[in-house]
């Protein structure tokens, strides 16, 4: 009778432990086949480059192939929709510009997915400030001088962006709104044509990514006058952060790893741990620095909160800019 009572008391504990057993086995066996890492941009950009390095490191660490699949289009929403509807087994992942993912929550009046609910937050991989560049003929060498010129000559300063509602557009709109200046916006289809317009002197200024800016600023074909993060960038140590003249200014390009909702927590944890281990490797730190990127150490829960925070912060800028895509 005593033995029977003990057995009966143990049954609830055994029942509670049973659901964890398949999940644990699933994580131990993961990845069971090739993992597809979808990138919502064409090959060659900063997101694609970081994704390919990450895929290679994951392939070596997990003894299974991680392959990059570029699916550009519709401001990343085509790829995001594909991910939101994928099997939540960890074999289809989303390496994306998390900042754009957050922007789209406000930029599009209707999306075929929920930017938070329909995704598993896994890890942030890098943070990269943008660089504000001007044509050398511009009579400004700093952000305060740039703002002063725009105030003195409303709508005379013409700036380029990679398209309405993109981070490059919103980074300049944040300056416009905070400084109370008027400028003319010319959207292009991509950051490369926008940078080329500045190089040609067709427009006065634009934001661009660090790796895109470096060859032109070092040769004198463009002048860097500010970086968009809250502090100076190691890639441009002599260039002030915009926050030094506009208090609280902070626009960062975050790259990260997401997946469809309901990926088993143990698989999410395994991918997060693999990311953090990768970011500690000297060769990866060196590669990140080459692209002006810095590693980010966050748990999946912190990544989820970060995305919510970015949706709120960038949503205010989208609203102030008037940008909208129906």
C-alpha R_g of the chain: 23
Look at the domain 33-128+253-321 and name its fold: D-Maltodextrin-Binding Protein; domain 2 (3.40.190)
**Mean pLDDT, the chain, integer:** 91
Q: Which residues have C-beta within 8 Å of that of residue 193, sequence separation ≥ 6?
A: 160, 162
172-214 confidence digits (pLDDT tens): 999 999 999 999 999 998 888 999 999 999 999 999 988 889 9
pLDDT for 107? 94
87-126 confidence digits (pLDDT tens): 999 999 999 999 999 999 999 989 999 999 999 999 999 9
Residue pair 302/98 in contact (Cβ under 8 Å)? The answer is no
Boundaries of CATH 3.40.190.150 in the chain?
A: 33-128+253-321
15: pLDDT strictly greater than 80: no
Angle value at C-alpha 100, between 98 and 103, nearest 5 degrees:
115
256: pLDDT strictly greater than 50: yes
151-169 confidence digits (pLDDT tens): 999 999 999 999 899 999 9
Exposure string over 280-291, b if 16+ CB within 10 A, otherwise e: eeeebeebbeeb
26: pLDDT strictly greater than 80: no
pLDDT for 1? 47
135: pLDDT strictly greater than 70: yes
Look at the domain 129-244 and name its fold: D-Maltodextrin-Binding Protein; domain 2 (3.40.190)
326: pLDDT strictly greater than 90: no
Residue pair 179/134 in contact (Cβ under 8 Å)? The answer is no
pLDDT for 28? 77
236: pLDDT strictly greater than 60: yes
E strands within 215-251? 223-227
pLDDT for 27? 67
37-86 confidence digits (pLDDT tens): 999 998 988 899 999 999 999 999 999 999 999 999 888 999 999 999 99
Q: What is the mean pLDDT of residues 260-283?
A: 97
Boundaries of CATH 3.40.190.10 in the chain?
A: 129-244
20: pLDDT strictly greater than 80: no
pLDDT for 23? 47
């Amino acid at each position: 009778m005593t033995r029977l009572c003990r057995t009966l008391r143990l049954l609830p504990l055994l029942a509670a432990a049973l659901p964890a057993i398949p999940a644990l086995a699933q994580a131990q066996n993961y990845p069971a086949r090739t993992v597809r890492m979808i990138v919502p941009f064409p090959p060659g950009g900063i997101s694609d480059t970081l994704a390919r390095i990450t895929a290679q490191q994951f392939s070596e660490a997990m003894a299974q192939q991680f392959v990059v699949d570029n699916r550009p289009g519709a401001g990343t929403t085509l790829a995001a929709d594909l991910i939101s509807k994928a099997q939540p087994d960890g074999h289809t992942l989303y390496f994306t510009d998390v900042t754009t993912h957050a922007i789209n929550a406000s930029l599009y009046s209707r999306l075929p997915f929920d930017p938070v609910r329909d995704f598993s937050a896994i890890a942030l991989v890098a943070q990269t400030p943008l660089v504000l560049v001007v044509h050398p003929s511009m009579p400004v060498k700093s952000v305060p001088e740039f703002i002063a010129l725009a105030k003195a000559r409303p709508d005379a300063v013409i700036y380029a962006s990679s398209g309405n509602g993109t981070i490059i557009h919103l980074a300049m709109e944040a300056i416009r709104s905070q400084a109370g200046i008027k400028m003319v916006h010319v959207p292009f289809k991509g950051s490369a044509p926008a940078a080329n317009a500045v190089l040609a002197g067709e427009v006065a200024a634009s934001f661009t990514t660090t790796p895109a800016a470096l060859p032109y600023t070092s040769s004198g074909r463009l002048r860097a006058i500010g970086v968009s993060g809250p502090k100076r960038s190691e890639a441009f140590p002599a260039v002030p952060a915009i926050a030094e003249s506009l208090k609280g200014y902070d626009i960062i390009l975050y790259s990260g790893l997401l997946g469809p909702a309901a990926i088993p927590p143990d698989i999410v944890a395994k991918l997060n741990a693999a990311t953090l281990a990768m970011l500690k490797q000297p060769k990866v730190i060196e590669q990140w620095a080459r692209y002006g990127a810095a590693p980010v150490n966050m748990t999946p829960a912190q990544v989820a909160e970060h995305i919510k925070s970015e949706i709120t912060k960038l949503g205010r800028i989208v609203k102030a800019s008037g940008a909208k895509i129906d």
